């Protein structure tokens, strides 16, 4: 898949139809359209330099657009506040689970006419495109990345515990046994889970899916189930019997990444494409890193998948929306669809010491992904052999989408369940699940 075009052609019609203006009253009156774009908070300087180099390339190709950066990292709580307060950048990212709700409530810009002109619009995997589409199939938010959950593990801790880092666990029993061994031999947490800011529900749902269960089916909550009970009972045993989970039970996505990169966690579950964040934001030592697939148990088991959407602020003026789509196409999408752009992006990252070649699931199809990987092969600088237990198997795992009704609200309900199991010895799992079932159904009904 090698569409022939420059990024400037993507929204040319829209840009021609509007006057070029500054993006706010206090923006420089230099005749350019000014947009703010998201940059991850907490990046190392080399990553910031790489990002700024890409901005320079974009502005050189688009002299009528000026790009300014705003630090932003999505979390459920802060995003809601930023959305309500109108403080989001013009271009921001959200998880797949937020797309439909934001569209239905009109909380992001309708860029459907602009995205319809993208040369790869019809090449998206339909299941992935659906996360950013409205009821009529117009693409309001652009899928820029997809993932399947994986088991991240610390190879150094494995070795210190007498475990083989080239043979990671392949069953949940083996994960539990390895966690216990790591704690006993190293004093570090053998296994840890996120529990806070809706991440506890996200990871619990991941494990339940891997055990053949679901947290939602046909618009109904399916919380009080054998698979959920099995997942929580194992977690309870690892916490209170094995004592293999350390002493921090309020991790969210950012803090568990920090702890893992610091060598304080042997294993944890998160998106399979997380290496870049661990390296650029948390100074992960590549020699420590290992990645494998989640064990799947039962005929209905699958790996939870999701992804990231790039959206545009509803406060953006038409010319800013067009410029924003130009940026999204240039920064996020060209490297997936155009060989020259893929090489330019990889070269900048490699020159500034940023990771190139970390695994992701394709937003189009595997053939397109495989081709893109050949384009950047000479620049790959991540420990691909240490990720092979994941990359050689994940494409063969059944991929399950996240629950679609009141997703974040249900995750928040499950946060409380996970926190209780980990902080109250002897917690009544049956009672917790009965209450969570009721609360989750109420959240789904309210959303409907």
Handedness of CA 115, 117, 119, 121 (dihedral sign): positive
pLDDT value of residue 348: 92
pLDDT tens digit sequence for 227-280? 999 999 999 999 999 999 999 999 999 999 999 999 999 999 999 999 999 999
What is the percent of the chain where pLDDT is above 70?
Answer: 94
pLDDT for residue 13 is more than 50: no
pLDDT value of residue 3: 35
**How much is the pTM?**
0.82
pLDDT band at 5 (very low <50, low <70, confident <90, very high): very low
pLDDT band at 27 (very low <50, low <70, confident <90, very high): low
Residues 6+ apart with CB under 8 A from 367: 1
pLDDT for residue 6 is more than 60: no
Structure tokens that stand for 240 in this block? 């209170």
User: Which of the 8 DSSP states describes residue 315?
Assistant: T
pLDDT value of residue 89: 97
Q: How far apart are CA 189 and CA 266, in angstroms?
A: 6
pLDDT value of residue 29: 79
* 41-45, 232-236, 357-361, range with greatest mean pLDDT: 232-236
Q: How far apart are CA 360 and CA 233, in angstroms?
A: 31
User: Which of the 8 DSSP states describes residue 167?
Assistant: S
Q: How many CA atoms lie within 13 A of 440 on its CB side?
A: 32
pLDDT value of residue 22: 35
**Residue given tokens 């699940």 in the structure block:** 433
Q: How far apart are CA 132 and CA 328, in angstroms?
A: 14
What φ, ψ does residue 242 adopt, rounded to 5°? -80, -25
pLDDT tens digit sequence for 143-200? 999 999 999 999 999 999 999 999 999 999 999 999 999 999 999 999 999 999 999 9
Q: How far apart are CA 101 and CA 402, in angstroms?
A: 14
pLDDT tens digit sequence for 373-403? 999 999 999 999 999 999 999 989 999 988 8
pLDDT band at 354 (very low <50, low <70, confident <90, very high): very high
Q: Are 326 and 62 a contacting pair, CB within 8 Å?
A: yes
pLDDT value of residue 384: 95
């Amino acid at each position: 898949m090698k569409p022939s075009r420059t990024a400037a052609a993507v929204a040319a019609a829209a840009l021609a139809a509007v006057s070029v203006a500054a993006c706010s009253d206090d923006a420089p009156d230099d005749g350019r359209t000014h947009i703010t774009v998201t940059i991850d908070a907490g990046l190392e300087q080399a990553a910031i330099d790489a990002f700024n180099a890409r901005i320079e390339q974009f502005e050189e190709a688009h002299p009528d657009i000026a790009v300014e950066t705003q630090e932003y990292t999505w979390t459920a709580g802060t995003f809601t506040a930023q959305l309500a307060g109108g403080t989001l950048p013009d271009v921001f990212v959200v998880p797949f689970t937020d797309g439909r709700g934001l569209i239905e409530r009109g909380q992001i810009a309708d860029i459907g006419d602009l995205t319809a002109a993208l040369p790869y619009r019809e090449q998206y995997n339909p299941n992935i495109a659906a996360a950013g589409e409205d009821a009529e199939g117009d693409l309001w938010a652009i899928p820029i990345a997809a993932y399947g959950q994986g088991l991240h593990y610390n190879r150094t801790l494995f070795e210190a515990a007498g475990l083989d880092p080239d043979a990671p666990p392949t069953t949940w029993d083996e994960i539990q046994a390895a966690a216990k061994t790591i704690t006993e031999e190293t004093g570090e947490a053998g296994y840890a889970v996120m529990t806070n800011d809706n991440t506890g529900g996200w990871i619990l749902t991941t494990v339940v899916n891997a055990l053949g269960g679901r947290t939602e089916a046909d618009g109904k909550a399916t919380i009080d189930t054998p698979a959920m009970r099995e997942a929580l009972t194992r977690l309870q045993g690892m916490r209170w019997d094995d004592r293999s989970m350390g002493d921090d039970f309020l991790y969210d996505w950012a803090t568990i990444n920090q702890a893992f990169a610091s060598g304080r966690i042997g294993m944890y579950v998160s998106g399979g494409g997380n290496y870049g964040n661990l390296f650029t934001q948390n100074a992960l030592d590549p020699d420590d890193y290992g990645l494998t697939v989640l064990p799947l148990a039962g005929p209905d088991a699958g790996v939870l998948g999701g992804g990231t959407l790039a959206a545009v602020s509803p406060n953006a003026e038409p010319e800013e929306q067009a410029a924003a789509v130009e940026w999204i196409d240039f920064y996020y999408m060209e490297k997936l669809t155009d060989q020259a752009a893929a090489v330019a992006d990889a070269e900048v990252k490699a020159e500034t010491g940023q990771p190139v070649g970390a695994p992701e699931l394709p937003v189009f199809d595997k053939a397109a992904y495989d081709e893109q990987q050949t384009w950047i092969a000479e620049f790959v600088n991540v420990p691909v052999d240490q990720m092979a237990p994941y990359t050689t198997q994940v494409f063969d795992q059944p991929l399950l989408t996240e629950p679609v009704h009141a997703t974040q609200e249900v995750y928040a309900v499950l946060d409380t369940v996970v926190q209780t199991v980990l902080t109250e010895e002897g917690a009544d799992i049956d009672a917790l699940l009965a209450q969570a079932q009721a609360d989750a159904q109420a959240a789904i009904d309210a959303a409907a």
